[in-house]
Structure 1
Amino acid sequence: MKFRQTNTTAVAAAKASISTATAYRIEKDLKLPSQKKVPRQRRRPDPLAEIFDAEIVPLLRAAPGIRSIAIFDEMIRRHPELGAGIRRTIERRVRAWRAVHGEEQEVIFRQVHVPGRMGLSDFTDMAAAGVTIAGQPLDHRLYHFRLAYSGFEHGHVVLGGESFVALAEGLQNALWSLGGAPREHRSDSLSAAFRNLDKDAREDLTRRYDELCGHYGMIPSRNNRGICA
């Protein structure tokens, strides 16, 4: 332990986030892990060697949802000489078998957000809210800004439709309220703002969006339909 060079064993253990007992054991054992003996092998015969593939696996295939305790009870009924001590062995072996041969599990790729890295903007049509003024429906949307890591949020009422001007105003108000800017800003590709625009107008709108993000030192990015952020 490098901390041991300048600290007592107890202090060095605390800095290394290990127990004092472990620190003393390491200090007394001067051998490297590679110099130690090979870990001991099994001391007794495998109690499931004769029955796991022949009896337990068929049960698992026939009833994928069967519980380990039910398999244990059945094995004890068939082979009472095995004894209650095999329960943990069965549970461990069944868990390992299911990890390899069981039903497919849902695969989750968790997103890891870094502080200050990403902010997101979007618009929400508020027609379903039924907001009225003097009895007349209010045609409006909400601009919504959020930081992915901290959850900081800012809302801005937009009278009318979705546009670059609405995005720019809402985004600047959000950043001023935040007192800073994230490293990356992600929008919904300005799909509504692009609608009914010719190629030159769309390119100009893209350029203005990129320049707006560049002004605040943010990297512009856009959501792609069907692809998670």
Structure 2
Amino acid sequence: MTLNTSQVSYYMTQRKKGVTQHISAMKAGISVRSGRRIEKAQWSKAGERHWRTRKDPLEAVWDSMLVPLLKERPALMPTTLLEMLQDKYPGQYPNSLRRTMQRRVREWKLQYGAEQEVMFRQRHQPGLRGLSDFTELKGVVVTIAGKLLAHKLYHF
């Protein structure tokens, strides 16, 4: 039987509390030998599976029927597509395929669907940046001691 991460975590928690290897292994539901392997760091998680565990139930209709529908009307919901299949092929596509259909449609939309709008949030922190501007005031006359002052207004 393979070890899972919760068993390893529980075993290590017990060991850090000062409990013996034998008792920690018993509490975690593993063998003492597995406990030794964990402590020597010879334990590793099982690799991720990269193969299918069952035949694709939508294989017969995905490319020929569902993808053209999604291209034509991308707003179609996966449950609507499943209901359509159930109407067209009674008894062949059970309700238990709903989650499979949702995953397939989500993956298709991510890969081939409409582009999503990209947003980059702008957070302005006070005192870090500022804008400044010079403006010429037309029609405003400024005099100092009776002399005309040619100036620009500075705005921050």
Q: TM-score range by the shorter chain?
A: 0.5 to 0.7
Q: Which of 160, 181, 195 is the matching residue for 2:135?
A: 195
Q: Pick the structure with greater CA Rg.
A: 2
1:1-229 paired onto structure 2 within 5 Å = 7-8=16-17, 24=28, 28=35, 30=38, 31-33=43-45, 36=46, 39=49, 41-80=51-90, 81-111=92-122, 118-120=125-127, 184=128, 186-188=129-131, 190-191=132-133, 194-196=134-136
What is the alpha-carbon distance in structure 2 between the residues aligned to residue 69 and residue 38 of structure 1? 29
1: distance between equivalents of 2:60 and 2:29?
41
Determine if contact 2:82/2:93 at 8 Å carries over to the other structure: no
Aligned length: 113
CA RMSD of aligned residues (A): 3.6
Q: CA deviation digits over 1:165-215, x for unaligned, max 9?
A: xxxxxxxxxxxxxxxxxxx2x222x21xx2239xxx99xx8xxx9xxxxxx
Partners of 2:77 and 2:13 in 1: how far apart?
49
Q: CA deviation at 1:100?
A: 1.2
Task: Tell me the secondary structure at the aligned position of residue 42 of structure 1.
Answer: coil
1:42 Cα deviation (Å)? 2.5
CA distance in 1, matches of 2:77, 2:47: 38
CA distance in 2, matches of 1:5, 1:57: 53
Q: How has the CA–CA distance of structure 1 residues 42 and 6 changed in structure 2, closer, same or farther, with 3 Å as cutoff?
A: closer
Provide the TM-score with structure 2 as the length reference.
0.57
Distance in 2, matches of 1:25 and 1:196, equals 82
Secondary structure of the residue that 1:50 maps to in structure 2? helix
TM-score (norm 1): 0.40
1 or 2, which has the higher strand percentage? Answer: 1
Can you list the C-alpha shifts for 1:47-100, whole angstroms capped at 9, x where unaligned? 011111111101101112111111110011122212111111111100110011
Structure 2: any 5+ residue segments left out of the alignment? 1-8, 19-27, 138-150
Deviation for aligned residue 1:25: 8.1
